[in-house]
Structure 1
Amino acid sequence: MQGTAYTYDPETRTGSVLLDDGTPLPFDAAAFDAGGLLLLRPGQRVRIECEEEGGEEGGESPETPGGGPSGRRVTLVTLQTL
């Protein structure tokens, strides 16, 4: 899946991406580290991988970093390459 880097905090290595439909999707440090990046700038095109989280209805959970809409959790963030 592709998106655009929206926010990034280098201290916590967390942030969010905007999917192509405009939906924001947060990511946690584990997802950032899995992509092997050192830095992410807002506006960069990224490739993300997600997995579905089961069990909770409604999707977002403030207690679960990286949890997003529809129960999707970002597991990897890396730069989009052609």
Structure 2
Amino acid sequence: MTRTEVQGTARVFDPATRSGTVLLDDGTELAFDTAAFDAGGLRLLRLGQRVKMRRDDAGRIVALTLVTLPLPLP
């Protein structure tokens, strides 16, 4: 299984569900779920924050954190 790390910007975040969307640098919008948010160890995400993500082979975000923090090991 190949995992891809990419960067983007937080576009939408719902603190109640801990899910939202990010905009990749090419303008593509991707959704992330609670599991992906929790995997990155964050407690909060502000709109406009730069994030890095790990994606699975299907392109789904499996971990998300700030660009200044390390992603968890796969």
TM-score, normalised on structure 1?
0.75
Q: Over residues 13-41 of structure 1, what are the superposed CA-to-partner deviations in whole Å (9 max), with x where a residue is unaligned? A: 10000000010000000000000000000
User: Within 2, Cα distance between the matches of 1:81 and 1:40?
Assistant: 13
Q: Equivalences for 1:51-66 in 2 at 5 Å? A: 51-53=56-58
- Equivalent position amino acid for 2:17 in 1: T
Percent identity between matched residues is: 61
- The amino acid that maps onto 2:18 is R
Match of 1:73 in 2: 60
Displacement, 1:81?
Answer: 1.4
Give the alignment's TM-score, normalised by structure 2.
Answer: 0.83
Please give the alpha-carbon distance, in whole angstroms, between the structure 2 residues aligned to 1:52 and 1:14.
Answer: 20
2:30 aligns to what?
25
Unaligned runs of 5+ in 2: 1-5, 70-74
Structure 1 stretches of 4+ moved >4 Å: none
Report whether the alignment pairs 1:45 with 2:16. Answer: no
Q: Which runs of 5+ in 1 are unaligned?
A: 54-71
How far residue 2 of structure 1 moved from its aligned partner, in angstroms, is 0.4
Which structure has the bigger radius of gyration? Answer: 1
